[in-house]
């Protein structure tokens, strides 16, 4: 495979940070990094690609995925009928779909498989997004991050599996996840939709437990992401100092102002509302989804208007992998500009993930580059039609005349 420098040419390039669209753009890539953007003189290289009438963007970042599965009729029985190997093969397949949809980095919450997926990608063994893995999410016994609905003795867990009660068990669980590769700690601060326990918004971890978790993770330089729907749990998580609130379905003005003050990101995961296959889910889960989704939409609209920091995240698995970019259209439909929507999946997501080496097209950044037809500042839906993907300098997708020159597709 050719490994020398590559020159990419395109009709447009979006500088997401400055908000400027450059015409007749040139990007030079070498050794997996961007070495120049629009240089005064373009080097003469063997690999000089003109991508034509497209817009170059930084590889997109989805800060909330589950690459080991996808919701279907077996979603709940999979916990007892499938092994981790099943999730690993899924992760290769869904990771391939996701990266070809233009998402070159994900923060993934699916256990040890996500850790190894990320390592395999960095070795160059498989084509999937770069992964910031949480390993097992932390939750209370019987909470959203536990597996409930089965007889006693089936799928019980402790701190090693992320099930931890009280500050000291929480600390133990954080240490264990980090020992085995977690780069972020995910927790369930409240109940949830896709699980068989009580009211969807109920607080599950106390402020004391959440504070112990955030403080222990911080000692390792690691952030906490808190799944939270109800206001009491969201407030406790923000007060404890988590870096992001996942879903954030019921936001009060007080919570939003505290998030702005502390720089806590909201990761909305709202596109799934349009796409969730409710008819395949147990009645309790369906009822919870129907209760929470209108509230979540209202909260997101208010958060955008108020200026709460937002990082792009979808909960892909609850809807089919590869449709991640559908989330942009929700943000724009709720009053966010197209440019700010793109920032949620680039500079804001990179800030949340502590990955300053991506999210912009600039010298020294990772050569994770995508191209979309037309101008995404005029029509954000073009992000659903990614024509070209480069991952670490390697071209993994290039659609020419409707045909992918690197076919692996869904």
Q: Where on the chain is the footprint of Zn ion (CB under 5 A)? A: 315
For the question of residue 340 being annotated catalytic, the response is no
**Nearest Cα residue to 165 out of 140, 137, 185, 145:** 140
Least Cβ distance, residue 214 to Zn ion (angstroms): 19
Closer residue to Zn ion in complex, CB, 319/388? 319
Least Cβ distance, residue 322 to Zn ion (angstroms): 17
CA distance 87 to 96: 14
Tally: H helices and E strands in the chain: 12, 16
Does residue 386 sit in helix, strand or coil?
coil
Least Cβ distance, residue 311 to Zn ion (angstroms): 14
For the question of residue 186 being annotated catalytic, the response is yes
Q: Which of 146, 183, 186, 368 is catalytic?
A: 186
Does residue 396 sit in helix, strand or coil?
strand
Closer residue to Zn ion in complex, CB, 57/188? 188
Least Cβ distance, residue 195 to Zn ion (angstroms): 11
Whether the Cβ atoms of residue 64 and residue 105 lie closer than 8 Å to each other: no
CA distance 208 to 201: 19
**Nearest Cα residue to 191 out of 161, 154, 231:** 231
Least Cβ distance, residue 241 to Zn ion (angstroms): 21
Q: Which tokens hold the place of 330?
A: 């929700």
**Nearest Cα residue to 239 out of 222, 226, 221:** 226
Which residue has the closest beta carbon to Zn ion? 315
Q: Which tokens hold the place of 65?
A: 């995925």
Q: Write the secondary structure of 369-391 as one string of H (helix), E (strand) and C (coil).
A: EEEEECCCCCCHHHHHCCCEEEE
Least Cβ distance, residue 315 to Zn ion (angstroms): 4
Closer residue to Zn ion in complex, CB, 237/396? 237
Q: Which of 223, 315, 368, 397 is catalytic?
A: 315
Closer residue to Zn ion in complex, CB, 224/390? 224
Q: Write the secondary structure of 65-120 as one string of H (helix), E (strand) and C (coil).
A: ECCCCCCCCCCCCHHHHCCHHHHHHHHHHHHHHHHHCCEEEEEECCHHHHHHHHHH
Whether the Cβ atoms of residue 105 and residue 95 lie closer than 8 Å to each other: no
Closer residue to Zn ion in complex, CB, 169/315? 315
Closer residue to Zn ion in complex, CB, 246/368? 246
Least Cβ distance, residue 272 to Zn ion (angstroms): 9
- Would you state the torsion angle of the CA atoms of residues 57, 380, 108, 322, taken in this order, to the nearest 10 degrees? -100
Whether the Cβ atoms of residue 130 and residue 105 lie closer than 8 Å to each other: yes
Q: Which tokens hold the place of 238?
A: 């923000």
Q: Which tokens hold the place of 140?
A: 């209370």
Closer residue to Zn ion in complex, CB, 281/380? 281
CA distance 310 to 352: 10
Indicate which residues carry an active-site annotation: 186, 315
């Amino acid at each position: 495979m050719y490994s020398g420098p590559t020159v990419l040419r395109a009709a447009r390039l979006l500088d997401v940070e400055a908000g400027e669209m450059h015409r007749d753009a040139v990007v030079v890539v070498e050794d997996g990094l961007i070495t120049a953007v629009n240089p005064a003189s373009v080097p003469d290289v063997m690999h000089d690609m003109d991508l034509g009438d497209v817009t170059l963007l930084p590889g997109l970042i989805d800060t909330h995925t589950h690459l080991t599965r996808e919701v279907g009729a077996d979603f709940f029985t999979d916990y007892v009928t499938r092994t981790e190997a099943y999730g690993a093969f899924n992760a290769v397949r869904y990771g391939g779909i996701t990266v070809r949809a233009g998402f070159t980095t994900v923060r993934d919450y699916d256990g040890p498989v996500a850790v190894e997926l990320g390592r395999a990608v960095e070795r160059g063994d498989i084509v999937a997004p770069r992964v910031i893995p949480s390993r097992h999410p932390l939750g209370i016994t019987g909470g959203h991050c536990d597996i409930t609905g089965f007889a006693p003795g089936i799928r019980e867990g402790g701190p090693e599996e992320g099930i931890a009660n009280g500050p000291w068990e929480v600390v133990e669980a954080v240490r264990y996840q980090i020992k085995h590769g977690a780069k972020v700690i995910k927790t369930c601060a409240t109940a949830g939709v896709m699980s068989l326990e009580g009211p969807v918004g109920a607080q599950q971890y106390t402020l004391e437990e959440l504070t112990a978790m955030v403080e222990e993770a911080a000692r390792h330089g690691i952030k906490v992401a808190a799944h939270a729907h109800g206001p009491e749990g969201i407030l406790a998580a923000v007060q404890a100092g988590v870096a992001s609130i996942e879903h954030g379905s019921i936001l009060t003005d007080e919570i939003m102002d505290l998030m702005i003050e502390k720089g806590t990101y909201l990761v909305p995961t709202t596109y799934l509302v349009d796409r969730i296959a409710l008819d395949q889910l147990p009645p309790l889960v369906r009822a919870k989804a129907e209760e929470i989704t209108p509230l979540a939409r209202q909260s997101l609209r208010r958060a955008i208007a108020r200026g709460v920091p937002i990082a792009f995240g979808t909960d892909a698995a609850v809807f089919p992998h590869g449709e991640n970019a559908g989330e942009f259209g929700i943000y724009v439909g709720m009053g966010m500009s197209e440019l700010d929507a793109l920032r949620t999946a680039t500079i804001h997501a990179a800030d949340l993930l502590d990955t300053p080496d991506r999210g912009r097209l600039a010298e020294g950044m990772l050569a994770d580059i995508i191209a979309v037809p037309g101008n995404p500042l005029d029509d954000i839906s073009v992000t659903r039609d990614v024509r070209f993907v480069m991952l670490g300098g390697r071209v993994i997708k290039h659609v020419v005349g409707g045909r992918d020159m690197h076919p692996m597709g869904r």
